[in-house]
Each structure stands twice: as structure tokens, then as C-alpha cells.
Amino acid sequence: MDFFEEQRENRRATLILISVFLFIVLSMGYFIDHFYLGFDITRGPFPFATALAIIVASGWAMTSYYSGDTIVLGSVGAVPLDISTADDKEKMLMDVVREMSIASGNPMPFVYIMPSDQANAFATGRDPGHSSIAVTRGLLDRMDRSELQAVVAHEMGHIKSHDIQTMTVVAVLLGAIALMSDWLWRISFYAPRKSGKSTDLRGTLIVLLVALVLAIIAPILGQIIAMTVSREREYAADAASVEFTRNPLALASALEKIKAGFVPMKNASRGTAHMFIVDPLVRISGDKEGFWADLFATHPPIDKRIARLKLSGHEIVAQGYGKR
């Protein structure tokens, strides 16, 4: 794997995502100023909504980049793993994370536990030096050591390629767009008007239309972005797990256990689903593929991932026998 090329692509993707977000928020500010409040942007008065949009957009962009991991971890109820824990499973997790940190060449990430019966995990942060890995209690309870190692190695692959930066920014900015859409919808009924009745009606209708469009496209946009960010990169992270552990069958076994024991995850959302090793919200149904399946799925088909890993395992075994 060329991790350096992956890193460059993820930095470009993050910059594009933040730029699109800034454009959306500034457009909202312009619509409110020009169509709703009746301000002439070119002649004055001061464009309050546009200025506010610049401040809000800049704040969200900075927050998503520098504090997005804290927001995401808080949203799923993740708590830091106590390094002095007496729990054998938690001790094993800490040992495995240290091992895979060395194997991947990543700095040691912070480790978190999510209080969920679902077996799942994700990584977050803005770069390998500021990264965290979170696993559910259900994952700890179900996995043996080699399977846990494979899952952690998968997340280390995301960290090494800087996937975590892009996925964290996506999660926070999508949440911001949803909040702003709701805010825009609400102010269309309560904000003051500056012009005549016909202009008031036109401005109100335009703002309502923009809010409605945002409310409709935000989840769709989220799915499209999640597909772009997540699907191919899940295959790449699976390959990284194999590279770090040399044990593709362990990850295949872990994915099979996750599939077999699926239960809904209460604290997950559509904005964060793309970050997990498997979709935490939708019951895994197998090998659905095609344009529409790809468009509305945050992850590649789990059966296809398992098949690839098993094939890789057979190839490794065959190569081993061939050397004897």
C-alpha cells in the first residue's frame, strides 16, 4: 500500500469538504441578507447574516478539524480506557493497541470504550499524532486476541493513511449542515422583514425553499460523501490490517462475528456511521451491490470483504507451502 499517496488524497478531500461547507454557509448568509431581510449587499447596510455566516462557518471548520474527535467521541458516549484497569479484556486491548502501534509505525493513540453491546470500532483524530481508537464493550466481549488485534490493525490503517482526518471532518460538518438547515427553517417564521409585503413574501419563500432543499439534500449528501470517503477506504484498511498482522483470517473471523451478532447501536448516527468498521445502524444484509446499493451504503458488502480476506489468507498459506 502507498500510505503517502493515501495521505495526500485525504488532505485534498478534507480541503474540498471544508471549502464546500464554507460555500454552503456563506450562501445561506447571502440568501438571508438579500432575499429575506431585504438588504442590498452591494450598497449596504452592513450584511449582518453574511458576516455571521463567515464567523459560524470558520468556527465550525476550525472546530471540526481541531476538536472534531472530541465531538464524535462524546456523541457515542465513549470514555477513556483507564490504564490501571483490572479488567482482563481491557488490559488485552491496551496491549494490542501498543503492538499494532509499533507494527504500523503510528504513535500510540488514545484508547476509548463505548458502552454498547454491538461489536464495533472506529478511529478518529486530525492526524496520527492526535488520534484515538474507540471500541465497544460488545467487541471486547466477543473477540479473541487475534480478532481484536485484526480490528485494531484495521483502525491503525485508517490512522496511518489519514482517513481519520477526512472522516472526522465529514461527521462534524454534516451535523453542522443539519443544524443550520433547522435554524434556517425556524428563522423564516420569526426573523424581521425590512421591505414591502411582496418582497417579504418572496424572501420568506426563498428562505423556506433553501431550508427545505438543505433538509432534503443533507442526508443524501451525507450518504454520497460517506460512500466516497468510506467504501474504498474500508478495503484499503482491511489490506492494512493484513499487512500489520499477517493474519487475514483473523479479520475475516472478526467480521463474521460482527455480522452474526448485530444489534442496533443507540448512540450512533448517520453522520458518524461511516467512521465505524461496519455500519452501526443498518443490519448487515450481505452482498448487495450496484449503483443504488453503493450510493446509500457507508461500507462495502461485508460478505465481499470477508471473501477477499479469506482469499488473501489462502494465498499466504499457499506461498508458505511453496517455499518449503
Helix (H) or strand (E) holding 156: helix 145-160
Q: Identify each DSSP E strand in the chain by its residue range.
A: 79-80, 110-114, 121-127, 130-136
Distance CA(39)–CA(50), nearest Å, equals 11
**In 3-state terms, the chain is what percent helix, strand and coil (to 5)?**
70, 5, 25
Specify whether 243 is catalytic: no
Residue located via cell numbers 458516549: 77
Strand order in the sheet with 121-127: 79-80, 110-114, 130-136, 121-127
Distance CA(36)–CA(49), nearest Å, equals 10
Sign of the CA dihedral with 184 first, then 186, 189, and 194 last:
negative
Q: Select which of 6, 90, 147, 155 is catalytic.
A: 155
Beta strands 121-127 and 110-114, pairing class: unpaired
DSSP readout, 91-135? HHHHHHHHHHHHHHTPPPPEEEEE--SS--EEEEEEETTEEEEEE
| Residues that are catalytic | 155
